[in-house]
Amino acid sequence: LQWLRNPGPQHEKRTLFGDIVCFLFITPLATISGWLCLRGAVDHLHFSSRLEAVGLIALTVALFTIYLFWTLVSFRYHCRLYSEWRRTNQRVILLIPKSANVPSNQQSLLGLQSLKRNSKETIV
């Protein structure tokens, strides 16, 4: 969720949302089309020529191969973008625990520094 809130590159976010919309639109269409092609192939095997049945089966295989290829390439692309973002957008604050050896004025300075931290930073 931090990646979505980050004011970084808008192109990557638009690409992600576009791919999600395409995935939600294409998945039911590919499923229904594949089912109809296989149903037609079964009907052609029983009542008509085998050549048309083989053509419909080949069409189904091609349809699902293209769908799976697009899904895997898109997923891999977005995983790579996310990994790159995580690698380049790390904010870490090291909090030093208060100890008896540190004078009180230095402890108060350390305390003020920890209060001024940004909400996007990670405390370690």
DSSP for 2-37 reads HHHHS-S-HHHHHHHHHHHHHHHHHHHHHHHHHHHH
Does residue 35 register a pLDDT over 90? Answer: yes
**Euclidean distance between the first and the last CA atom of the chain, given in angstroms as a whole number:** 20
Q: Give me the mean pLDDT over the 34-58 stretch.
A: 89
Q: Helices marked H in 1-124 — which ranges?
A: 2-5, 10-47, 50-88, 104-115
Query: Which residue bears the tokens 């590919």?
Result: 30
CA R_g for the chain: 28
Q: Give me the mean pLDDT over the 29-50 stretch.
A: 90
pLDDT in tens, 59-98: 999 999 999 999 999 999 989 988 887 888 777 777 888 7
Delimit the domains of the chain by residue range: 10-67
pLDDT of residue 84: 84
